[in-house]
Amino acid sequence: MSIKNITTSAVQAGINTDEHHGAVVPPIHLSSTYSLKGFNEKREFDYSRTGNPTRATFAQAIAELEQGSVGIVTSTGMSAVHLICQLLSTEDTIVIPHDCYGGSFRLFTHLARRGQFKLVVVDQNDEAAFAQALAQKPKLVLLESPSNPLLRLVDIEKLTKACHQVGALVAVDNTFLSPALQQPLALGADIVFHSTTKYINGHSDVVGGVLVTKEQALGEELAWWANCIGITGSAFDSFLALRGLKTLPVRMKQHQENANEVAKFLKQHSAIDAVYFPGFADHPGHDIAKKQQQGFGAMMSFEVKGGVEAVKKLFANVKLFTLAQSLGGVESLISHPSTMTHAGMEIEAQLEAGITQSLVRISVGIEDVNDIIADLNHGLSQSQL
Ligand SMILES: *Cc1c(COP(=O)(O)O)cnc(C)c1O
């Protein structure tokens, strides 16, 4: 906990902590079980669902980057979201943003339909609607900033203060920025979580999640549940994600440098109606981004002229960009939110969240930016033929 610089913390995570052999990089512990020293004499670890040295190293590294006290590594990002639901009883209310991650939206709406908790879905930028939601005295409020796929922002510090005034806990999905660019706990939130599948692992070869709490007691409660319901992450995935984490701050620098150039290119392109990128001064969340983020990230979306037919032609003509969901890997990806990431959302809910048929989302990778732009340029010109 002594190293505060985020780049140094990430690189140094777990380095030279192996007392047994002096391994510089923390070894991977695949053993499912651990011996007792003797009758009723437990060691630190006893069974890998409950605790595992490799997972613990990764959890501690993330907790440090997010400036929290307890880190919990989960099997997927969705299991981190599901873990949060364990805080809610049938009479409790949770407030979620209307444009949250499609999988989160599906989980919350379906569990609420089965009576597991009460759900309020709200546009969190609508001050009156948000105040009305808080008047219902929720136990928990979920924030996601920037949101997917339209990169809408909310003022985390301001909303968290309002939530705390009514006694609600605040959990923030920080997947789109990673702790390298935003630390919600430092802005007042109680819980921050990630799909580590995205920027934290960063190489599109792990599906995983992590959750960090500000307070020790809340962290212990959630760690108890994570073991109880059996959603803790595997040792192998933790090893890979820790390896990815080491280059997170360096990767984010290149992602952002490329994203700024790509956004500028898209904005002036005649095949495009609108670009949603918080780095633009005219983006409605630009000032909030400057205040609460250490950069604008590398996700953006745009409307292609000519509707879904033009989108299909764009996808058929890009080569460097891969048509795939997910984001945050070193490689550039392109997707159609309506039929892909947000397909779990009913069409009315999609439209309410601003997801049209001509909307395209890209995750800008760390390839040479001139190659990225040339590929998009070719695809976009073909899209208009
Ligand atoms: C991907 C994602 C999730 C879900 O994570 P999985 O690892 O796919 O289970 C949650 N929130 C956001 C913002 C995501 O992008």
| Residue pLDDT tens, the chain, 385 long | 445 799 999 999 999 999 999 999 999 999 999 999 999 999 999 999 999 999 999 999 999 999 999 999 999 999 999 999 999 999 999 999 988 888 999 999 999 999 999 999 999 999 999 999 999 999 999 999 999 889 999 999 999 999 999 999 999 999 999 999 999 999 999 999 999 999 999 999 999 999 999 999 999 999 999 999 999 999 999 999 999 999 999 999 999 999 999 999 999 999 999 999 999 999 999 999 999 999 999 999 999 999 999 999 999 999 999 999 999 999 999 999 999 988 877 888 788 878 999 999 999 999 999 999 999 999 999 999 9
Inside any domain, residue 137? yes
Burial (CB count <10 Å: 0-12, 13-18, 19+), residue 326: middle
Domain termination residue (choose one: 199, 227, 245): 245
Q: In the chain, what is the greatest distance between 2 CA atoms, to the nearest angstrom?
A: 76
Answer yes or no: do 229 and 290 share one domain: no
Answer yes or no: do 224 and 348 share one domain: no
CATH code, 286: 3.90.1150.10
Answer yes or no: do 109 and 61 share one domain: yes
In DSSP notation, 184-220 reads: TTTTT-SEEEEETTTTTT-SS----EEEEESSHHHHH
Domain termination residue (choose one: 220, 245, 270): 245
Answer yes or no: do 253 and 229 share one domain: no
**Residue whose token pair is 């005649």:** 270
Inside any domain, residue 217? yes
Among 76, 81, 147, 198, say which to mutate for ligand 1: greatest number of ligand atoms within 8 Å of CB. Answer: 198
Answer yes or no: do 91 and 220 share one domain: yes
Altogether, the residues listed in the chain come to a count of 385
Inside any domain, residue 1? no
Range of the domain at 103: 6-245
- pLDDT number for residue 1: 40
Answer yes or no: do 62 and 122 share one domain: yes
ω into residue 146 within 30 of 0, thus cis?
yes
Total structural domains within the chain? 2
- pLDDT number for residue 341: 85
Task: Assess whether the C-beta atom of 199 lies below 6 angstroms from ligand 1.
Answer: no
Answer yes or no: do 160 and 185 share one domain: yes
Nearest atom in ligand 1 to the alpha carbon of residue 144 is 13
Question: Can you point out the beta strands (E) in 34-176?
Answer: 70-74, 93-97, 118-122, 140-144, 169-173
CATH code, 88: 3.40.640.10
Cβ(100)–Cβ(173) below 8 Å: yes
User: Going by DSSP bridges, is the β-strand pair 333-335/359-363 parallel, antiparallel, or unpaired?
Assistant: antiparallel
Task: Assess whether the C-beta atom of 85 lies below 6 angstroms from ligand 1.
Answer: no
Residue 174: both structure tokens together: 């920080």
Q: Using CA atoms, how far apart are residues 337 and 273, in angstroms rounded to an integer?
A: 17
Task: Assess whether the C-beta atom of 76 lies below 6 angstroms from ligand 1.
Answer: yes
Answer yes or no: do 144 and 212 share one domain: yes
198 is an active site residue:
yes
Task: Assess whether the C-beta atom of 103 lies below 6 angstroms from ligand 1.
Answer: yes
Domain termination residue (choose one: 196, 218, 245): 245
Predicted model pTM: 0.96
Inside any domain, residue 288? yes
| H or E element in which residue 302 lies | strand 299-304
Closest by CA to 30, choosing from 209, 236, 253, 251, is 236
- pLDDT number for residue 324: 96
